[in-house]
Amino acid sequence: MSALVRVEDLHVRFRTAERTVHAVNGVDLSLGQGEVLGLLGESGSGKSVTLRSLLRLLPERRTQTKGRIEVAGHDVLALEGAALRAYRGKVVSMIFQEPMLAFDPVFTIGDQIAEAVMRHERADRAAGRARALEMLERVRIPSARRRLDAYPHEMSGGMRQRAMIALALACRPRVLLADEPTTALDATVQIQILLLLRELQKEFGMGVIFVTHDIGVALEVSDRLAVMYAGRIVERGSARDLIRATAHPYPRGLLASTVHGAMRGRRLDAIPGAPPDLSQVPEGCAFAPRCRLAEPACVAARPPVVEIGEAHVAECRRPVTGSVPAEG
């Protein structure tokens, strides 16, 4: 079965008068129908840039994009004008990290959801409002009919995030992109949003790419995981495989530095150093300066992609198998 999303050798650069930032450096990924792919990594690893490339939301005058992006049969980098506008929202939609910035503050929540339906489905305003009400009810916003006429600032953070999900799903997209949609929420609301997203994903049969820096969140929602570092995917496989047999030192470090109840009284085993400056892309493994297993060959050339198991690969010269040790 062909992939719903296929990204091949994606490179994204941002140009300024002073320098060029190589934000994404040869990313390959795929997404199947009804599958959730978790894109995991720390801030600055290229997760959100990869996601926005799928919607062509990056500023065109300062951005250079190379590679191939195919979504539901659409050659995304070739889309222009009306075709691109029709693609956004109908084929692929996005839940943004901060809904207060994503919603227009001068229009009501109901009008903004209705506008999307009217634009993509050529519906009248009454039909658009009816769909908006339906979606607000589906995401379990209390007093949904009254909230139709509420402005974004009149709703709590959790309700705004639910409204953002309602907007993203209003036109029944085939692919949903979620850019750290629970980061700004407290733990209780975060769990509610994650369960709601998973439920709606199964109900609508969508493919979902879920960006996060939180391993716990990634495991909660994902079928497969892809771990990014310095604009590259360094390991990918099923969520179960990546946790039980993590091979690359970077995701092993992420797991080892995760706080849990059994760590009481122990020092956190943090990853040393800092991510590289992406205005100067390293020739070899970008993680080598922080890696305890690095050798001269790691710095000299980009490491090979090594097969760890079925559909489980890592870009590493010295992959390690087995569970992550309890102590550093």
CATH code of the domain covering residue 40:
3.40.50.300
Who contacts 4 (Cβ-Cβ below 8 Å, separation ≥6)? 31, 32, 33, 35, 71, 72, 174, 175, 207
Dihedral angle of Cα 217, 51, 312, 286, to the nearest 10 degrees: -100
The reported pTM is: 0.90
Tell me what pLDDT residue 326 has: 43
Answer yes or no: do 9 and 71 share one domain: yes
Kindly report, residue by residue over 36-59, the tens digit of the pLDDT: 999 999 888 999 999 999 999 999
- Same domain for 149 and 190? no
Checking if the pLDDT of 162 tops 50, the result is yes
SS (H, E, C) 65-85: EEEEEEECCEEHHHCCHHHHH
Is residue 183 a part of any domain in this protein? Answer: yes
Q: Could you give the CA distance from residue 311 to residue 290 in angstroms, rounded to a whole number?
A: 27
Please indicate, yes or no, whether residues 189 and 248 belong to a single structural domain of this protein: yes
Boundary-marking domain end, from 152, 171, 190: 171
Q: Are both 288 and 211 inside the same structural domain?
A: yes
Separation between Cα atoms, residue 46 and residue 20, nearest integer Å: 15
Residue 326 lies in a domain: no
303 occurs within a structural domain = yes
Rounded CA separation 184/158 (Å) = 9
Q: Single out the residue in 145, 171, 197 at which a domain terminates.
A: 171
Q: Helix or strand or coil: residue 252? A: helix
Tens of pLDDT, residue by residue over 228-237, are 999 999 999 9
Mean pLDDT throughout 292-306?
92
Residues 208, 167 share a domain: no
Q: What is the mean pLDDT of residues 203-224?
A: 90
pLDDT in tens, 247-293: 999 998 888 777 665 556 667 778 888 889 999 888 899 999 999 89
Rg (CA), the chain: 21
Domain membership flag for residue 152: yes
**In the predicted model, what is the mean pLDDT of the chain?**
90
Range of the domain at 146: 107-171
Residues 237 and 296 in one domain: yes
pLDDT the model gives residue 328: 37
| 279 domain residue, yes or no | yes
Q: Which of 151, 171, 191 represents a domain boundary (last residue)?
A: 171
Residue 325 lies in a domain: no
Total domains in the chain come to 2
The answer to whether residue 321 sits within a structural domain is no
